[in-house]
Structure 1
């Protein structure tokens, strides 16, 4: 028998001195002491508690007073919880096995929940009767808490993943096989291994780049990351930002790739629209500068003040049209707003300028040329025509022929100004601007009629949607003859 057992003071133990114990008890204790497994012997009707060295860590501060005492005194309330199992085994002779039993207990002055796997085996004495129970087991508190934390962490991770719209996928070490894909409604799911994933999901123009990035990631065992085009569930083409990390085995070799992809289609489209808009703004700015240059070079005036006034007015007309386009993000401009900008001083209660027509959304390419044309008509009217005297007036009427993409018919009619004595013998810069912008830039038609009551000008402009970068005819759209 072990030295610890021999050295123990048995004078107060119900079992008495070990020298008086029956051979069956001595043999059982000998086997118990030599077992590497946590074990205890509950002996006699009082269930005296005898245990081996493997049990000591679980006893903690109970160890110094536990040996040879009734188990109920050693474990207190913890014993009350499990005692029905042990007493039943003692009464029936049927052992039991229990796993992950939760037992509250106090150790080292601290209450805690502990978990145990344990067995109880009845021990029979020399006469065949049950004289005790052999209790063996292991404390699993650390393992249970670790598994619980792992399960909670896994559940949190799953919840976070499910809360996102990220596509999830798994790839074989060489990326030859797509093992799993949850497309989240963005692309089609794959729950069975697929070796045709590249053709099934990726636009053919991106195959080479994807293969190059994959091989680079495999060589360096580093993260794969790339934006590329994918076929969406509805058959349309979208964009995905895909990222995958290698999972390594104990030898440091890649055993699988775990990846996620984000739908970036709208972001890419917004970037493309922004780039297109920037190029278009750049192009239109160059066009506007070309018009300004032509205005400066072709404007004639008797003196510097007159020259400055004319040029300033024409550049201001360009700026007003530019502002309307910018307000509508370069999609177009409202015709009435454009006309009001040119005739603002004459609108109001005296009705010297009357506008009458339905709502018309001018395409972006038509706004500035048409604004310039109306500005020149208004400038001519202020200098020589219907707006040069207080009793004169201008009426602008328009309608659409063929719908929003059809033909804009606009009529400028003056009355009440100085009498008109027929068509002029020479064309001025203003009339050349009107003809050049309408015909050259807008592919439209213009006709001047010098009636006795005042000038009438009929303009026809096709409202086809403009191409991305309209090119001015002849560089400026002005006729220089």
Structure 2
């Protein structure tokens, strides 16, 4: 650039020959040419340009034609932006500076681009104190600005992804002794600053040793920390989380910090435990059903004289057990309503218009569902074969109620058959089959109660009485796992 300036025909430039330049301008040009910083000098009211070798690449193909010419000729695309800055310094003598100042410039033909500079524009004064030029020291920062923009964009995308997730996000120190940050998402208490005693706040004492062992393994291996464990939720209750954290390392592999996410799996764990409980209950119930079926087969075979009748009785009794089972499955093994049980077990016999069930809305325990269901099947079978439903005019009335007892309350169920034909009443004689065993021994014994059977002219009455707590689920209460299993066994 020194050679360009020496050889330039300055007599054709608004600045005139070099010999006419002021001492201060020539001194400034000498300093500019020797400098390694990117410097351009805009001289006089027309802002004639002079610049050094370091500055030349920043203006692209404007070099070298911009030398010695008014700035407006070669910086026309940004003149409305650049002129106020230069004129402000020229007229006031005040320095203007900025960091990452954007400029739109065409430095490759007519292809424009926005570039960024750190700039410092200061006045060059003549001997009389007037401002004769503007000294512009610039440093292009386009690469830095664009890189920072990409980082911000990446961070924004990441933050959007994190915000779209319901997972807890956390950051830990390299040794996990200090929690840098935690966004609890309402599941855990959030921590915006460093927390030293985070274990006491988020973990239960009895769980800390196993969790610390998993942390130490991850630190030693510089690998992923991943664990499913209990946590203390924001409301103080116990919850479950599956937590996963990865180490952020530097160029030599040292851990700088840990970044992790944790999902709330409290409901999932509860569902899994409920499934396990139900599977245990089903297992107990199936075993119990096998025992009942074997008992049915044994007791029915003792009294069977006709193979076909034996097959029919066994099939019907097993179907009755199945109906009770279906009701329990439908209600998630939480028992079954008494009215539903009556309806399901008496439907196969028909004659709904001649059967009158009446009683309060109660939910039966599992053991009561099976046993009362068996009783209803035997009562319906007897009534259809040789009882009130065998003829055309008989009726059945069934009442269940809660009756006061010396200690607490009893559940009472009364089955009454009324006959109008003498023949039907005569047929209602005692029958010592498996049904009698169920009605007079199996059902009352299973419910820790008692039962009685009355047979009078025109009337058959079976009464069951048992402690209320053995039969009915209290309102607002649910059977716990042990209670249900005990009921099945």
Per the TM superposition, whether the score is higher than 0.5 is: yes
How far apart, CA to CA, are the structure 2 residues paired with 1:248 and 1:181? Answer: 20
Aligned to 2:453: 448
How far apart, CA to CA, are the structure 1 residues paired with 2:171 and 2:146? Answer: 30
| Cα-to-partner distance string for 1:318-356 (whole Å, 9 max, x where unaligned) | 11111111222222222222212222255557x332212
Aligned to 1:477: none
For the structure 1 residues 297 and 65, does the alpha-carbon distance in structure 2 shift closer, same or farther, using more than 3 Å as the test? same
Aligned to 2:220: 219
Please tell me whether the aligned partners of residues 367 and 487 of structure 2 are also in contact (alpha carbons under 8 angstroms): no
| Cα-to-partner distance string for 1:434-456 (whole Å, 9 max, x where unaligned) | 23442343333221112222321
How far apart, CA to CA, are the structure 2 residues paired with 1:193 and 1:126? Answer: 60
Aligned to 2:398: 396
Of 428, 433, 442, the match for 2:433: 428
| Cα-to-partner distance string for 1:39-60 (whole Å, 9 max, x where unaligned) | 1111233221111222223212
TM-score when scaled to structure 1?
A: 0.88
Aligned: 1:469 with 2:485: yes
How far apart, CA to CA, are the structure 2 residues paired with 1:15 and 1:422? Answer: 136
How far apart, CA to CA, are the structure 2 residues paired with 1:123 and 1:144? Answer: 30
User: Secondary structure, in 3 states, of the residue corresponding to 1:65?
Assistant: coil
User: Secondary structure, in 3 states, of the residue corresponding to 1:222?
Assistant: coil
How far apart, CA to CA, are the structure 2 residues paired with 1:375 and 1:51? Answer: 109
For the structure 1 residues 344 and 42, does the alpha-carbon distance in structure 2 shift closer, same or farther, using more than 3 Å as the test? same
Aligned to 1:42: 42
Aligned to 1:341: 344
Aligned to 1:476: none
Aligned to 1:478: none
For the structure 1 residues 192 and 104, does the alpha-carbon distance in structure 2 shift closer, same or farther, using more than 3 Å as the test? closer
Please tell me whether the aligned partners of residues 72 and 79 of structure 1 are also in contact (alpha carbons under 8 angstroms): yes
Aligned: 1:247 with 2:248: yes
- Structure 1, unmatched stretches of 5+, are 474-481
- Structure 1 stretch 374-383 or stretch 193-202: which is displaced more? 193-202
The equivalences for 1:79-478 within 5 A come to 79-108=79-108, 109-125=110-126, 128-191=129-192, 193-299=194-300, 300-347=303-350, 351-401=353-403, 407-416=410-419, 418-420=424-426, 424=430, 427-461=432-466, 462-465=470-473, 467-470=483-486
How far apart, CA to CA, are the structure 1 residues paired with 2:118 and 2:307? Answer: 106
Please tell me whether the aligned partners of residues 167 and 261 of structure 1 are also in contact (alpha carbons under 8 angstroms): yes
| Cα-to-partner distance string for 1:374-412 (whole Å, 9 max, x where unaligned) | 111111222232222223222211123479x96431111
CA-atom RMSD, angstroms? 2.8
For the structure 1 residues 390 and 179, does the alpha-carbon distance in structure 2 shift closer, same or farther, using more than 3 Å as the test? same
CA offset at residue 227 of structure 1?
1.3
CA offset at residue 192 of structure 1?
5.2
User: Secondary structure, in 3 states, of the residue corresponding to 1:469?
Assistant: helix
How far apart, CA to CA, are the structure 2 residues paired with 1:401 and 1:263? Answer: 48
How far apart, CA to CA, are the structure 1 residues paired with 2:34 and 2:264? Answer: 64
User: Secondary structure, in 3 states, of the residue corresponding to 2:274?
Assistant: helix
- Structure 2, unmatched stretches of 5+, are 474-478
Please tell me whether the aligned partners of residues 179 and 198 of structure 2 are also in contact (alpha carbons under 8 angstroms): yes
For the structure 1 residues 105 and 215, does the alpha-carbon distance in structure 2 shift closer, same or farther, using more than 3 Å as the test? same
For the structure 1 residues 435 and 17, does the alpha-carbon distance in structure 2 shift closer, same or farther, using more than 3 Å as the test? farther
Please tell me whether the aligned partners of residues 401 and 411 of structure 2 are also in contact (alpha carbons under 8 angstroms): yes
Please tell me whether the aligned partners of residues 404 and 410 of structure 2 are also in contact (alpha carbons under 8 angstroms): yes
User: Secondary structure, in 3 states, of the residue corresponding to 1:122?
Assistant: strand
Please tell me whether the aligned partners of residues 172 and 258 of structure 2 are also in contact (alpha carbons under 8 angstroms): yes
For the structure 1 residues 340 and 464, does the alpha-carbon distance in structure 2 shift closer, same or farther, using more than 3 Å as the test? closer
- Structure 1 stretch 156-165 or stretch 309-318: which is displaced more? 156-165
How far apart, CA to CA, are the structure 2 residues paired with 1:214 and 1:145? Answer: 38
For the structure 1 residues 107 and 441, does the alpha-carbon distance in structure 2 shift closer, same or farther, using more than 3 Å as the test? farther
Q: Which has the higher helix share?
A: 2
Please tell me whether the aligned partners of residues 232 and 238 of structure 2 are also in contact (alpha carbons under 8 angstroms): yes
TM-score when scaled to structure 2?
A: 0.87
CA offset at residue 312 of structure 1?
1.0
How far apart, CA to CA, are the structure 1 residues paired with 2:175 and 2:441? Answer: 65
Please tell me whether the aligned partners of residues 47 and 71 of structure 1 are also in contact (alpha carbons under 8 angstroms): yes
Please tell me whether the aligned partners of residues 121 and 134 of structure 2 are also in contact (alpha carbons under 8 angstroms): yes
| Cα-to-partner distance string for 1:22-67 (whole Å, 9 max, x where unaligned) | 6544433232122221111112332211112222232122224212
How far apart, CA to CA, are the structure 1 residues paired with 2:361 and 2:244? Answer: 50
For the structure 1 residues 330 and 402, does the alpha-carbon distance in structure 2 shift closer, same or farther, using more than 3 Å as the test? farther
CA offset at residue 76 of structure 1?
0.8
How far apart, CA to CA, are the structure 2 residues paired with 1:472 and 1:120? Answer: 92
